[in-house]
Structure 1
Amino acid sequence: MGSKSKENLFQMEGLESRNKKSRDNKVQSEEGRDRRPHAPFRSVTSLFSYFLENTTFHGLPRIFGAPFFLEKLFWVLAFLTCLGVFTYQGTKIVKDYISYPYSTRTDIITESSLDFPAVTICNVNMMRRSKLVDTRFEDLIELDGDATGDTDDYSFWFDQSFYERLGSENGNSNSSGTSGESDGTSSNSPETSSSPDDSQASGPQNLNGEFDFFESSWDDSSFDFSFYDTWEGITDENDWQAIYNQSQSPDFSDLRALLNPTQAELQEYGHQAEDFILQCSFDQRACSYRNFTTFQHSEYGNCFTFNGRTLEEPFNKTRRTGRTGANYGLQLTLFVEQPEHVGLLTAESGVKVSIHAQTEQPFPEDDGLTASTGQKTAIGVRKLNITRLGGLYGEECTKTGEGTNFSSETSSYTVNACLKQCLQDTLRKSCGCITDIRFGNYTQCSSLNPTQERCRQLVEYLYHSSNLECTCPISCSEESFRRTVSASLWPSTRYEVHLAKQLVSINSKIERIIADVEKTRQNVVNLVVFFEQLNYELNQQLAVYTVESLLGSVGGLLGLYLGLSFMSIGEIIVLLLGFLKIFGGKTLCSSCRSKSEADDKYSDRSKSQSTQKASDMNDYDEGTRRAPWYRSLVALATLFVFASMVVVVALVMLFELGVISINL
């Protein structure tokens, strides 16, 4: 009996416990249904309190939640200190970013093979003596023989037809030469036609207004037309005796300036590839003069380029090599034909060698090395690539030469080519003539023309003083070659015998010249161009700050000093929208009546709840479903945050590409 009543008691207690638990679950369900943690706020106080309780701004909750004044003061000082440090460092990062700093990275890139550079070779002698007979330069070679005291005419060694007629025409030629010399001496001898004295020289003078292209801002006070009237009294540009007598330059460079041969004359009178290039091999495989392209140079006559190509030609035409050392690369045996030299035009014997990129226009007069006769000249090269950022990063650069003074459909852009083209264009427009036949088939400037000579000297003076308006920025991508030159005596005495047999079988003219090792050394050049190593140096400019690094740096400072992320910006935006909603609710809210009813319902429900719960939750509404306007407000705020981020990133990208700019 006792046990049964005790069992009933336990059952009653269990039932009461289950009923109580069910009631609690029901209450919790109803409360959970009524509670909305993001319900509309009724006041600024409730909005700000909610913001402080949920924000990721770590400093603010500490400040407003501290129970003691000293603790509040501590967190205020800590927050302001971190905010100041963040502002200082963030400002420096942004300033650095908009100043476009860059760094230069140098790498050594090793490859199994490399594109072999283009090699341009020129005989330092412009035209051959044997080809100047019966031309407007014929008196020049006769004057050259008299001036050197050498009565031997080597022309017949190269021109069989001239040799056959030499006997019949020699008398007339001598008489003509004597008569010409007599006339020249009587009228233009050094005694009777000396150089202009100080009273005749033009000296420094102001040219403002004399030439149309001269600008008033240019300073010409230091310019001296010292050689303007050097050729006074000479009217015939082919009167070489008178020109020789009045020459003022010790190396006769002023005489060479009066030659002005055309491209057709240089092509015919200059040294020919089949005579100049005797032996050729590349990586120990035979090549010939047919593998060279020819162009005319105002100073060196015919020049020849190996492994060059135009922009229109395919890349597979370029020769590559996977071997290093002087036994490989390009090896040439060159015949300078020294008896064909005109002494008044050439003070040295040898070959000009220019090493450049395949599509670049060569300028042997500027960067050419001289390979001397009687020597083996070995040139070891190492490739160097330079890549520049350009734009707002450092000096302005160009990729294709657009917007510059350079224009060519066959050659790639270089600063040197652009400057030279600018000079020639200015001469052509201002003076009506040019001085370099590579830049067009125009009239060449003559020193005997006072107007042209005066204008030419002025333009060249302005060019060298950087006063011409030449737009020639550096190239964004540049390829050059560092050169190491070594030379040795060549050929040796014993090797010369074997060499002579080989060369005679190639060119019959050589048999008339290289009678011994001394003659061979006076006329033959051995040239080797090779890669020292199969690697190249890459100098690349890199931006110190990119968009990613800028955002990472600023974001890192935010997290380090303030404990924030970029998403915290959304909290600020929502807070501001909440303030707008409170103070301008009638404008932003499309259902103000629903809001009033929700507030009344909230008040009734709050009265029925316990005092503790009401005091804890009176800062925000928990019993009303989220209003449609509030859901729209949150959605718009989220879209606004992401749209703002997209706009910021887009502006930074446009700033990076140079579409927009900021002038500090």
Structure 2
Amino acid sequence: MISIWDVIIHCTGYVNTFGIQDIMDEKREQTARPDADRPSTKYGLKDLWTEFSHSTGLHAVDKIKPPSLRPLTIRGLAWILALCSTTGFLVYNLVGEIGTYYSYPTVTKITPQMKHSINFPAVTICNRCTFNNTRLDVYPEMENYFFNISQERTREDSFSHLTSDVFQKPLSLEWLQNMSMEGSKMLFKCVFGGDDFDCMTDFRPIFTYEGLCHTFNFNASKIVRTAGDNTNLMVTFNINQNDYTFTRNKAAGIKVFLHHPDVHPDASSTVVTAAPGFSTYVAIQTFQYRYQPLPYKAFDVTNCLDTNSPSFVNPLKIYSRRYTYDHCFMECVHLKAFKQCGCIGPYVPLDDLQCSLVQLESCYNPAVRSLSKNGTFAKECRCVSECVFDRYTAQVSSSSFPSDKWESTLLKTRGRRTGRV
């Protein structure tokens, strides 16, 4: 008689024996065929792309799978073209943005500042007629000489008939000063900050392209705190038209240059003219421009020169007091004209051979005018603007001077008509 436990034991033993037998058979098969079912260790580009396309979140990549590539279908080709075009557009934009980033773009910012005091600019005053006709009377041909110049007759006239030493010898600053309008007669009364001062003490004579001029605040010592007649510069001047000779500009009055004290008047960008018989008022505003030095582009495609850098050395020799773009270009022009004519103009602060009157009008001044407006030559000079510089703007208004009430009184005291700026 067989009990239930015997059945269970026998079944269990059978099952265990069967399981062991199956395992042993599988091991024999693996021993007989060791590489039959082992996973392949080769991982090709196809496998990499398949895994990437299944796991990536990039749009359209999962659409390009081996089933759509073998054989190549229209759908697969369309997705390939879409992916390639969008990838190319992405790369194009990235390259452009990186280029923009490394071009160091800047934003212009205007910052108004309230200051309790500002430095007063240099003011250079020039009579529109440089030479004094009464002093030129000792030279019989001089008036005819200036008349020919004023009429632009130098092209037809070779000056060969001007054999006098005064025309052929190099000009001296002493001779030019003696032949020019006297500053002591032109500058009649001077007031600054409500206080009278001696005009010839605070005005320094300086030679410019306009001739002999006089500069106020040449040493940058003047400071102003408020605006108005009682606090700023007021000058009463005498034109002396009776002493005029022929000039190119054919005008009467004065020419006023507003500039930094370290800048030569000829390099000034702010010029005001005042006519005799008028009271002319000039309101000045100062603007300071600051540009970023290298590696930034200060002027669209060019860089600026950091003149405030401790390592900066002024390369200019004539205008060595201060580097500016205008000083650089002026020096380049004058040195080129010097090479062409063999002499230098009297208004150039350079200790070299001065031109004679004939050389000045027949060669040097025409060369300066021609070079100054030659764009090709300006590029040859390779002048670079400074990163920090000041500019002055002027608002001009005028009224008749003197009034009828004062006219007879002033004519009695001065004997001629006066003007005021």
TM-score by length of 2: 0.65
The residue type equivalent to 2:114 in the other structure is E
The residue type equivalent to 1:343 in the other structure is T
Look up the match of 1:489.
400
Equivalent residues in 2 for 1:184-583 (5 A)?
Answer: 227=155, 229-238=157-166, 261-289=171-199, 290-297=201-208, 299-301=210-212, 303-309=213-219, 317-325=220-228, 328-339=231-242, 341-344=243-246, 347-363=250-266, 368-388=271-291, 389-390=296-297, 393-400=300-307, 407-415=318-326, 417-446=327-356, 448=358, 453=362, 457=366, 461=370, 464-468=373-377, 469-496=380-407, 500=410, 514-515=411-412, 519-520=415-416, 522=417, 524-527=418-421
Deviation at 1:405, TM superposition (A): 6.1
Instruction: Measure, in 1, the Cα distance between the counterparts of 2:170 and 2:252.
Output: 21
The change in CA–CA distance for 1:489 and 1:408 in structure 2 (over 3 A counts) is same
Q: Residue 126 in 1 paired to residue 130 in 2? A: yes
The change in CA–CA distance for 1:449 and 1:393 in structure 2 (over 3 A counts) is closer
Look up the match of 1:86.
90
What is the DSSP-based 3-state SS (H/G/I as helix, E as strand, rest coil) of the residue aligned with 2:163? Answer: coil
The residue type equivalent to 2:420 in the other structure is N
The residue type equivalent to 1:236 in the other structure is S
Instruction: Measure, in 1, the Cα distance between the counterparts of 2:402 and 2:154.
Output: 46
What is the DSSP-based 3-state SS (H/G/I as helix, E as strand, rest coil) of the residue aligned with 1:421? Answer: helix
What is the DSSP-based 3-state SS (H/G/I as helix, E as strand, rest coil) of the residue aligned with 1:479? Answer: strand
Kept in 2: contact 1:390–1:476 (CA 8 A):
no
Kept in 2: contact 1:359–1:412 (CA 8 A):
no
Deviation at 1:101, TM superposition (A): 7.2
Instruction: Measure, in 1, the Cα distance between the counterparts of 2:299 and 2:231.
Output: 44
The residue type equivalent to 1:331 in the other structure is M
Kept in 2: contact 1:399–1:475 (CA 8 A):
yes
Kept in 2: contact 1:405–1:471 (CA 8 A):
no
Deviation at 1:378, TM superposition (A): 0.7
Look up the match of 1:252.
none
Kept in 2: contact 1:282–1:330 (CA 8 A):
yes
Deviation at 1:329, TM superposition (A): 2.5
The change in CA–CA distance for 1:404 and 1:467 in structure 2 (over 3 A counts) is farther
Instruction: Measure, in 2, the Cα distance between the counterparts of 1:458 and 1:377.
Output: 35
Instruction: Measure, in 2, the Cα distance between the counterparts of 1:355 and 1:455.
Output: 26
Structure 2 segments unaligned to the other structure (5+ residues): 1-40, 69-75
Instruction: Measure, in 1, the Cα distance between the counterparts of 2:113 and 2:373.
Output: 40
What is the DSSP-based 3-state SS (H/G/I as helix, E as strand, rest coil) of the residue aligned with 2:164? Answer: coil
Q: Percent identity?
A: 19
The change in CA–CA distance for 1:97 and 1:441 in structure 2 (over 3 A counts) is same
Spell out, residue by residue over 1:239-287, the C-alpha distance to the aligned partner (whole angstroms, 9 max, x if none): 8xxxxxxxxxxxxxxxxxx897421223445445544333333333444
Deviation at 1:355, TM superposition (A): 0.7
Instruction: Measure, in 2, the Cα distance between the counterparts of 1:353 and 1:259.
Output: 31
Matched length: 356
Q: Residue 116 in 1 paired to residue 120 in 2? A: yes
Spell out, residue by residue over 1:575-622, the C-alpha distance to the aligned partner (whole angstroms, 9 max, x if none): xxxxxxxxxxxxxxxxxxxxxxxxxxxxxxxxxxxxxxxxxxxxxxxx
TM-score by length of 1: 0.44
The change in CA–CA distance for 1:403 and 1:238 in structure 2 (over 3 A counts) is closer
The change in CA–CA distance for 1:279 and 1:390 in structure 2 (over 3 A counts) is farther
Kept in 2: contact 1:307–1:318 (CA 8 A):
yes
The residue type equivalent to 2:108 in the other structure is R
Instruction: Measure, in 2, the Cα distance between the counterparts of 1:342 and 1:140.
Output: 15
The residue type equivalent to 2:277 in the other structure is G
What is the DSSP-based 3-state SS (H/G/I as helix, E as strand, rest coil) of the residue aligned with 2:110? Answer: strand
Spell out, residue by residue over 1:209-261, the C-alpha distance to the aligned partner (whole angstroms, 9 max, x if none): xxxxxxxxxxxxxxxx971643233322548xxxxxxxxxxxxxxxxxx8974
The residue type equivalent to 2:138 in the other structure is D
Kept in 2: contact 1:125–1:342 (CA 8 A):
yes
The residue type equivalent to 2:301 in the other structure is G
Instruction: Measure, in 2, the Cα distance between the counterparts of 1:459 and 1:118.
Output: 25
What is the DSSP-based 3-state SS (H/G/I as helix, E as strand, rest coil) of the residue aligned with 1:109? Answer: coil
Q: Alpha carbon RMSD of aligned pairs, Å?
A: 4.9
Deviation at 1:323, TM superposition (A): 1.8
The change in CA–CA distance for 1:138 and 1:298 in structure 2 (over 3 A counts) is farther
The residue type equivalent to 2:194 in the other structure is Q
Look up the match of 2:34.
none
What is the DSSP-based 3-state SS (H/G/I as helix, E as strand, rest coil) of the residue aligned with 1:360? Answer: coil
Deviation at 1:482, TM superposition (A): 1.6
More helix by share: 1
Instruction: Measure, in 1, the Cα distance between the counterparts of 2:413 and 2:176.
Output: 31
The change in CA–CA distance for 1:140 and 1:390 in structure 2 (over 3 A counts) is farther
The change in CA–CA distance for 1:472 and 1:335 in structure 2 (over 3 A counts) is same
What is the DSSP-based 3-state SS (H/G/I as helix, E as strand, rest coil) of the residue aligned with 1:433? Answer: coil
Instruction: Measure, in 2, the Cα distance between the counterparts of 1:458 and 1:477.
Output: 31
Kept in 2: contact 1:390–1:396 (CA 8 A):
yes
What is the DSSP-based 3-state SS (H/G/I as helix, E as strand, rest coil) of the residue aligned with 1:424? Answer: helix
The change in CA–CA distance for 1:395 and 1:270 in structure 2 (over 3 A counts) is same
Look up the match of 1:105.
108
Look up the match of 1:185.
none
Kept in 1: contact 2:270–2:394 (CA 8 A):
no
Q: Residue 96 in 1 paired to residue 100 in 2? A: yes
Instruction: Measure, in 1, the Cα distance between the counterparts of 2:254 and 2:368.
Output: 31
Higher normalized contact order (CA 8 Å, seq sep 6+, divided by chain length): 1
Spell out, residue by residue over 1:162-198, the C-alpha distance to the aligned partner (whole angstroms, 9 max, x if none): xxxxxxxxxxxxxxxxxxxxxxxxxx9xxxxx9xxxx
Instruction: Measure, in 1, the Cα distance between the counterparts of 2:260 and 2:274.
Output: 20
The change in CA–CA distance for 1:348 and 1:63 in structure 2 (over 3 A counts) is closer
Instruction: Measure, in 1, the Cα distance between the counterparts of 2:125 and 2:141.
Output: 28
Kept in 1: contact 2:132–2:245 (CA 8 A):
no
Instruction: Measure, in 1, the Cα distance between the counterparts of 2:162 and 2:142.
Output: 17
The change in CA–CA distance for 1:448 and 1:121 in structure 2 (over 3 A counts) is closer
Structure 1 segments unaligned to the other structure (5+ residues): 1-41, 148-187, 189-193, 195-224, 240-257, 310-316, 501-513, 528-664
Deviation at 1:489, TM superposition (A): 0.7
The change in CA–CA distance for 1:428 and 1:525 in structure 2 (over 3 A counts) is same
The change in CA–CA distance for 1:367 and 1:444 in structure 2 (over 3 A counts) is farther
